[in-house]
Amino acid sequence: MGNLRSVSQAVQHVAAGSGVHAIVTSRPEVVRAAERVVLPGQGAMPDCMRELRESGLLESVLEAAASKPLFGVCVGMQMLLDRSQEGPTGGLGLIHGEVVRFQLEGQRQPDGSRYKVPQMGWNRVQQAQRHPMWEGVPDESWFYFVHSFYAMPSDPRHSVGESEYGVRFTCAVGRDNIFATQFHPEKAQTRASRSIATSSTGHPDGSRVAAPSRIPPLFPCS
């Protein structure tokens, strides 16, 4: 999985001294044993979903989503939805909605330059809904994006973070014990990124955080 190293390092950094252990794994039993699960991903959503199925990780991820905190990053967020314009492969269906591509051909940014797809760079994030994961994170914080597709949840209450890039789009989704971001919180060495990472891991002594590893290391994110 393309961003496994940076995500696991970020979790270990914020959890230092707390007894939390971050484990990168391709074993379903490790995911089942973890108290929290981080689902990162880079590349194409259909490829990532195929790897989850072929590796046997799919059921363990669905079980985790039903019973413990699940945090998705980048394509890990996109996989939570029902489907994507990127291909016929369905998603996990944990957040109802569709993943769609930026349609910015011919549009120009305020400085006169053309919008480029994928979006690559820093952008502000507006907190659209209250969610425990936003605790300690200032509204309008800057985060790093690399993506051509974005989520469109069917229920607007599941759109908990938004940004603008030629169009206003959902960049964070959440419900109950599930939270996910299109942006990369691990790239921002800021209070905001540490708050999100800390909230996703929690700090109980001996807690285990698992990140499934059987997703192709492709770049950039879709």
| Active-site residue set | 74, 184, 186
Residue pointed to by tokens 């109950």: 176
Alpha-carbon distance of 12 to 5, in angstroms, equals 11
Decide the pairing of beta strands 97-101 and 149-153.
antiparallel
Q: Which of 206, 187, 186 is nearest to 198 (CA)?
A: 186
Q: List % helix, strand, coil for the chain (3-state, nearest 5).
A: 30, 30, 40
DSSP 157: G
Degrees to nearest 5, angle at CA 52 with 46 and 53: 90
Q: Is the peptide bond before 185 cis (omega within 30 degrees of 0)?
A: no
